Structure 1
Amino acid sequence: MANDYISFVFKSLLLLIHLVFLGQHHVDSASVVKSLPGFEGPLPFELETGYIGVGEEEEVQLFYYFIKSERNPKEDPLLLWLTGGPGCSAISGLLYENGPLTMKLDVYNGTLPSLVSTTYSWTKNSSMIFLDQPVGTGFSYSRTELFNKPSDTGEAKRIHEFLQKWLGKHQEFSSNPFYVGGDSYSGITVPATVQEISKGNYQCCKPPINLQGYMLGNPITDSKIDGNSQIPYAHGMALISDELYESLKRICKGEYEHVDPYNTECLKLLEEFNECTSKLYRSHILYPLCEMTNPDCYIYRYSLSHYWVNDETVRKALQINKESIREWKRCDWSKPYTKDIISSVPYHMNNSINGYRSLIFSGDHDFEVPLIGTQVWIKSLNYAIVDKWRPWMINNQVAGYTRTYANKMTFATVKGGGHTAEYKPDETFIMFQRWINGQALYGKVKLLQKTE
């Protein structure tokens, strides 16, 4: 009997030790990364990678990259950057849009692709968290089978929980001004996340997150508004004829997204429209449409990141949890996801009422989410214009156009820009720098430097 009792106690202790170990493993999984394969020498910035568990049992493990501000991390803003998709990895933002590293554009020869420093990183004046979300994106994963698939509203809650836990482990940043940013499909999740954080600050969560505002680039906002803007945009950019445009307006009555199936004349005109535009690279209409494996194509850089991230030495350096090891994809469109926010306009309205400042910017050569639609929903908020439409300048050259509204919202175009910040990274960096510092976009700035 005594032996049975001793055996029971011993097994219980082993189980307790095992549970404590598991708890520690999932509570503290952050790692400082000093160097990365493909980059010469130590990293010239402070990088941390890790997992934060969310959900009742912390079954969802969200992977993040955190880079401290290169200026004054104790006081500079903290920015959470969400890549669109849904299902596009945070690496897209980090290596192509606004991070301190990018791929060296050499033709792949079977060896590990190289990384080089950028001169346009937003981390020059803010700390940044690049987050792999929703679950299944990048290196984020679930330790158990999920009964509820990710959704727009569900992600807003998960991201809020992630932030609370992340700041709990990084309390030195809890008083820094906090912003949420992203582009493309993040136009749905970012406004909802801002509202969720704002509600949490008032209702449930202490200490409050020092939320100040948000920014979005070429944001998907309302499928009807965004979709209906593509035809007038195509006409304005001389992609379709005046005759076709006038016929579309008259026969389809401005409704191009949800066409009456009995309106055969409209459907026929839309077929003609698609014939004119189907061979365009929609993310930037001036770029050629070609295969990702073509070294002469813009999107070849995405192939390089695929080779780099899927290298075993890179995953080891990033401290990737073995449970999440699988083939990394820049964007995985196959994951189940519920799009339960039809329009994020009401979220913008609520965030405006609550006083949060915002920056909405549009690359003016994006055919995916044309700037025309973005201007339509901004106008629907019905706020007075504070600063009239005017050019914003870099080195005495027009970099785009901008105006501001009474709800602390700034709208800006990026001249020659595309669907994401990556097409004009120098210009978007200057734009972000001015806005985050509370300056007017049309102010003065230092000379631009070129990417190394």
Structure 2
Amino acid sequence: MVGNGVTDEIFDGNALLPFVHGMGLISDSIYEDVETSCKGNFYKYYSEDTEDNNDDSCSKSFQKVDRAIEGLNVYDILEPCYHEGDSNSAWMKAAIANGTLPKSFEELGFTNNNDERHLKVRKRMFGRAWPFRAPLKQGLVPLWPQLLAQTRHVACVSDVVASSWLNNNAVRKAIHAEEESVTGAWELCTGKIEYSHDAGSMIPYHKNLTALGYRALIFSGDHDMCVPFTGSEAWTRSLAYNIIDEWRPWNSNGQIAGYLQGYDNNLIFLTVKGAGHTVPEYKPREALDFYTRWLEGRPI
């Protein structure tokens, strides 16, 4: 089971443009201009080690896309974009210092009888996620500090509450973390970790495992712009397995919760409607529903 997973440099690199166009974030004319200028190979625009990234016409066309989406939260385009030093951050820092956080923050992680989490809490929590535009290829995987270079702040994300909570002595003790004097303070997307990828595209691995008979569920929150569902849909289709369950909605709590397509060799591609990069964070009930059904071997 893989959720919003970076899988292949080309498929994931080419996924952004159709996603932002399909979501109405860029105009038809911008989409057509980039299609023409980049000749369908959008992923080369991000490449660091190919002469194709010096293609002036492609680069200039894609700058229009960048300008259109730069103010969006990449992990869920429906979520707010928080800015470093804005009034929200200042208010939260002051509230934490004074011990006057509202009830929703005091109940951080609380789940009520309807399995719905407090949205106001979720908007302000953030864990490690794949950095936007970090391609899946052999070599060092650039994390946010390397991508941003001049600033430690991850675009649109507020880590005020997460930092305060994870640096609390009682919390550190409860999760068996070393004392701050030993490991230092918790930091959002620290640059102290280096991760190198040496396996290339994951598609051959998926092909091998599914051909051996292992079941696979590839799911995507359909509002994640960091690893768009358009790339996952494309690479699962590229395996060229026969479609045995044609694109259809799946339900949770009596409502359409997303869409799925089933293939030979026990492969399913599934979207979760309205979810971002970390599906259970945004849609816990729906995530539990499809997860439970899949584990039990029931139809989703």
Q: Aligned partners of 1:266, 1:318: CA distance in 2, in Å?
A: 48
Aligned to 1:243: 29
2:82 to 273, 290, 295: 290
Look up the match of 1:187. none
Provide the rounded CA distance (Å) in 1 between the counterparts of 2:165 and 2:29: 49
2:289 maps to what in 1?
Answer: 430
Tell me the TM-score normalized by structure 1.
Answer: 0.47
Structure 1 residue 246: deviation in Å?
1.1
What residue in structure 2 maps to residue 199 of structure 1? none
Q: Following superposition of structure 1 onto structure 2, how do residues 153-168 of structure 1 map, counting pairs within 5 Å? A: none
What residue is the counterpart of 2:124 in the other structure? 300
C-alpha contact (below 8 Å) 1:390/1:402 kept by paired residues? yes
What is the alpha-carbon distance in structure 2 between the residues aligned to residue 406 and residue 246 of structure 1?
35
Instruction: Give the superposition deviation at 1:230.
Output: 0.4
Give the counterpart of 1:342 among 189, 192, 200: 200
Taking a change above 3 Å as real, the CA distance of residues 352 and 261 of structure 1, as seen in their structure-2 partners, is: closer
Please provide the CA RMSD for this pair.
2.1
Counterpart residue identity of residue 300, structure 1: R
Q: How many residues align?
A: 227
Deviation of residue 326 (structure 1)? 2.7
Structure with more relative contact order (C-alpha pairs < 8 Å, separation 6 or more)? 2
| 8 Å CA contact 1:309, 1:315 repeated in 2 | yes
Other-structure match for 2:190: 332
Unaligned residue ranges in structure 1 (runs of 5+): 1-214, 442-452
Of 10, 17, 25 in structure 2, the residue corresponding to residue 231 of structure 1 is 17
CA offset at residue 280 of structure 1?
A: 0.9
Distance in 2, Cα, partners of 1:331 & 1:271: 26
Mapping for residues 431-450 of structure 1, pairs under 5 Å? 431-441=290-300
Letter in 2 for 1:359: L
Find the partner of 1:360 among 212, 218, 231. Answer: 218
1:310 maps to which of 167, 175, 190: 167
Q: Give the alignment of 1:70-219 within 5 angstroms.
A: 215-219=1-5
Task: Name whichever of 432-441 and 254-263 sits farther off.
Answer: 254-263
CA 1:357–1:307 in structure 2 vs 1: closer, same or farther (change >3 Å)? same
Q: Name the structure with the higher helix share.
A: 2
Which of residues 65, 79, 83 is equivalent to 1:273?
65
| Equivalent position of 2:114 in the other structure | none
Task: Report deviation, 1:362.
Answer: 0.7
Taking structure 1 as reference, are residues 238 and 317 closer, same or farther at Cα in structure 2, changes over 3 Å only?
A: closer
Pick aligned residue for 1:377 from 222, 231, 235: 235
Shift of 1:405: 1.2
Displacement of 1:321 in angstroms is 4.9
Please tell me whether the aligned partners of residues 221 and 272 of structure 2 are also in contact (alpha carbons under 8 angstroms). Answer: yes
Secondary structure of the 2:44 match is: coil
Between structure 1 and structure 2, the one with the greater Rg is 1
Shift in Å, 1:335:
1.4
Measured after TM superposition, the shift of residue 336 of structure 1 is: 1.7
Q: 1:225 to 1:328 in 2, by over 3 A?
A: same
The Cα of 1:353 is off from its aligned counterpart by: 2.0
The structure carrying a bigger strand percent of its residues is: 1
Give, in whole Å, the separation in 1 of the partners of 2:71 and 2:28.
20
One-letter code of the match for 1:279?
G
Q: CA shift at 1:330, angstroms? A: 4.8
Alignment partners' CA distance in 2, 1:366 and 1:320: 31
- Structure 2: gaps spanning 5 or more residues: 46-51, 93-119, 127-159
- Residue-by-residue CA offset, 1:393-421 (whole Å, 9 max, x unaligned): 12321000112111211111101111112
**Rounded Cα–Cα distance in structure 1 between residues aligned with 2:211 and 2:68:** 42
- 3-state SS, counterpart of residue 225 of structure 1: helix
Instruction: State the distance in 2 between where 1:319 and 1:313 align.
Output: 10
Percent of pairs with identical residues: 40
> How big is the shift at 1:219?
0.8
